Amino acid sequence: MSQTGLPARRSAVYLLDQLLGEGRLMSELLGAGVLDRLEPEDRARAARLAQDTLRGLERADRILQKHLSKYPPLTVRNALRVATVELCHGAAGHGVVNAMVELVSRHNRYAHLKGLTNAVLRKVAADGPEAWNALRAPRLPKWLRGPLTEAWGADAMAAMEAAHFAGAPLDLTAKTDAAAVAEATGGVLLPNGSVRVKDAGQVSAMPGFSDGDWWVQDAAASVAVSVLDPQAGESVLDLCAAPGGKTMQIAATGAAVTAVDDSASRMQRVSENLERTGLKAKLVTSDVRKMTGTYDAILLDAPCSATGTIRRHPDLPHAKDGSEFGELIELQEHFIDHAWKLLKPGGRMVFCTCSLLPDEGEVQVEEALARHADMSCDTAIPAGIDPAWQTEEGGIRLRPDYWADAGGMDGFYIACLRKTA
């Protein structure tokens, strides 16, 4: 990593310019290789700085507005935001201020604002940390906060926002021995069998990565396969499979899994993950609605708003506006109906979404049950899941504020649907 940290800070500001100015997603930018020229440590630091700034954006803006008569251009404003978050998280004031002044001074259009940058950040360094701790947890944008508050209530909304602000530790799913993975990585076992690691650092350098002993997967996401409970020798269809965490879970049980996704690049990631872990699956790049055949069990991790993943992806509320919700809900309905045709009589299908919106979970299953006379909801609860998380129609609702003391979890909805024999 560079001594000044300037490459990482400059890249973090660029990421924020793209996220907040152009509405692009972090995953899209990283996938396009915008950080590939950086050294690995600088690459990780740039992404972390951008994510920390997004999580604390409301607080940073409240602190900065005390020292600004008007907001500067977005690039300079983002530089101030990154520096404010660093300073309020305890970074050395001298280094942060000097680095950001240098960054602005090198800008072709905004070099004349280096004096403003210096003056503002020196004031933030003096009074920012105390002010930061007195501010509320940042709130979601109104377009998302409104429907979520309506669904879960004001207290739950506040708890979820606190979980989003806290961020997410690293969760691992072990191929075979979770206890051994926890011991090797310094992690702890969660009630569902996932391994949670705090302050993990570079993932590829962790013990067991190169040997394929585990893969990264949020604990909530792993519950879907636990609900499906695949058995050795069963034919299992994993729909919308990339990046492959659930595919590997299923394959590790000895089931014959066919993984389907419509993105060739994302399926390449599934192939790489399978190769690293030594697990086997048949990979098919296709639209879900074009699949044929019949299967003992199906996992449908349907495209959704991804509103349950904000603790790990704080860019989502800023890059989206909710306009795609209706289209996604309709697509989920089509996927459910087509996948149901592929399920053998007596088989089971897990429908899941990483969404906090009932229309993409509870309501979707209620309506599917009304459409299909041969469909019922299996109410069995897997190990480690609180029975209180079961929903009225028989699914499981997971939220970011659950397991809060241990670091939370992604928001997920999961339902196991049985087909009459």
Which long-range CB contacts under 8 A does 9-12 form with residues at least 24 apart?
9/46, 9/49, 9/79, 9/82, 9/83, 9/99, 9/100, 9/103, 10/103, 11/35, 11/38, 11/42, 11/43, 11/46, 12/45, 12/46, 12/47, 12/49, 12/50, 12/53, 12/82
Q: Which of 161, 5, 191 is nearest to 98 (CA)?
A: 5
Give the count of beta carbons closer than 10 Å to the beta carbon of residue 176: 9
> Quick check: 87 and 96 in contact, CB under 8 A?
yes
Q: Which of 338, 306, 299 is nearest to 416 (CA)?
A: 299
The residue behind tokens 């075979």 is: 176
In the set 240, 354, 377, 416, the catalytic residue is 354
354 assigned to active site: yes
Residue 345: is the preceding peptide bond cis (ω within 30°)? Answer: no
Q: Which residues participate in catalysis according to the annotation?
A: 354
